[in-house]
């Protein structure tokens, strides 16, 4: 529907329109004023914890391809920090392309391995966001019984997909002499192949998001007076927008829209909600840039690996 060129133009226009709208509706000087009242210790701790969440993502990647990466953990962390920076700054999800490129450059992992792994990570990310949001959304509407039942069904989805993927891969492996089934079999082989890989990937995803969303909710509460559970829902709303095909440069506009969509149904004032959403997004971008600066301290030497790495 949208060509890459048109998506780029739309992203830039959305970015410029958002900057102009915030200046007209709120005023950037007024919007940034609450940062003066944030204790330096709180800000430093929040940035440190976000950096720790990026470290947890590196652990997930390292364990997913272990033991093939051997002693390349610091290089994994460098890769994750760079991928996160590109992902948050570049428009139209183009930053995602950096992951297979960096995996090939640093570890000689073929794209038929790294792209399925990235898709698996993104599926687990979205699944975890949904899992953390479900209780807050469903409990007030349907009560505890429905909330528990829905959560159990939702938790089972990764396991079902994992088992179905193995069965489909086995069937395709019987038809590798044909081009399309052979290619599909190679792509599916980049997904988890055993229970250990599946369980570890899921665990590190959950821990990462608990830390990251907890920090975002904490920061959001500095800018708007809401309960922690509602602030957590707002943080989830912003992160869910990361899957949208069209968004502005650095996600400006769509990230705030996701936060507001999650918070406004709870009766919050729109202008105050927008101010909080923009400031949380600025915190996210600052943390991404800080993580990018950390990469200068980490080793760059490509790891001696092979292209037939399997998770």
Q: How would you write the pLDDT of the chain (311 residues) with one tens digit per residue?
A: 556 666 667 667 777 787 788 888 888 888 889 999 999 999 999 999 999 999 999 999 999 988 777 778 899 999 999 999 998 887 666 778 899 999 998 888 888 888 889 989 998 998 999 888 887 777 666 777 777 888 888 888 888 888 887 777 666 666 555 556 555 656 666 788 888 889 999 999 999 999 999 999 999 999 999 999 899 999 999 998 876 656 666 777 788 889 999 999 988 999 999 999 999 999 999 999 999 999 888 877 766 544 444 44
Which pLDDT score is estimated for 303? 61
pTM, rounded to two decimals: 0.85
Query: How much is the pLDDT for 302?
Result: 66
Q: How many Å apart are CA 84 and CA 58, to the nearest integer?
A: 11
Report the alpha-carbon distance of residue 189 to residue 191 in Å, rounded.
5
Structure tokens at 269: 């004032």
The residue behind tokens 């390349």 is 72
Distance CA 265, CA 8 (A): 32
Cα–Cα dist 308/143, whole Å: 49
Q: Which residues make Cβ contacts (< 8 Å) with residue 42, sequence separation at least 6?
A: 218, 222
DSSP 253: T
* Predicted pLDDT at 309: 43
Q: What pLDDT does 307 receive?
A: 41
Q: How far apart are CA 250 and CA 165, in angstroms?
A: 34
Query: Which run of H or of E encompasses 214?
Result: helix 195-223
**DSSP string for residues in 50-119:** HHHHHHHHHHHHHHHSTTTTTT-HHHHHHHHHHHHHHHHHSSTTGGGGHHHHHHHHHH---HHHHHHHHH
């Amino acid at each position: 529907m949208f060509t890459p060129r048109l998506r780029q133009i739309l992203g830039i226009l959305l970015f410029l329109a958002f900057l102009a709208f915030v200046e007209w509706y709120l005023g950037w000087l007024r919007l940034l004023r609450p940062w003066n009242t944030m204790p330096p210790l709180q800000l430093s701790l929040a940035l440190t914890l976000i950096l720790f969440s990026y470290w947890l993502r590196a652990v997930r990647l390292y364990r997913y391809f272990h033991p093939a990466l051997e002693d390349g953990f610091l290089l994994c962390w460098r890769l994750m920090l760079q991928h996160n920076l590109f992902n948050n700054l570049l428009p139209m999800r183009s930053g995602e392309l950096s992951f297979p490129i960096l995996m090939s450059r640093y570890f000689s992992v073929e794209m038929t391995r790294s792209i399925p792994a990235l898709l698996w990570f993104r599926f687990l990310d979205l699944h975890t966001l949904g899992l953390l949001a479900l209780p807050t959304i469903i409990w007030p509407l349907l009560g505890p019984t429905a909330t528990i039942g829905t959560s159990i069904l939702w938790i089972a989805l990764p396991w079902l997909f994992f088992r179905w993927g193995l069965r489909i891969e086995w069937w395709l492996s019987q038809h590798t002499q044909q081009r399309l089934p052979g290619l599909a079999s190679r792509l599916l082989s980049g997904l988890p192949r055993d229970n250990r890989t599946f369980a570890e990937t899921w665990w590190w995803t959950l821990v990462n998001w608990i830390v990251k969303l907890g920090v975002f909710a904490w920061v959001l509460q500095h800018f708007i007076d809401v309960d922690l559970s509602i602030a957590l829902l707002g943080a989830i709303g912003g992160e869910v927008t990361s899957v949208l095909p069209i968004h502005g440069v650095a996600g400006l506009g769509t990230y705030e829209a996701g936060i507001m969509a999650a918070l406004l149904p709870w009766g919050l004032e729109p202008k105050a909600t927008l101010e909080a959403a923009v400031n949380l997004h600025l915190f996210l971008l600052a943390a991404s840039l800080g993580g990018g600066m950390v990469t200068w301290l980490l080793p760059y030497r490509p790891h001696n690996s092979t292209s037939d790495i399997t998770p």
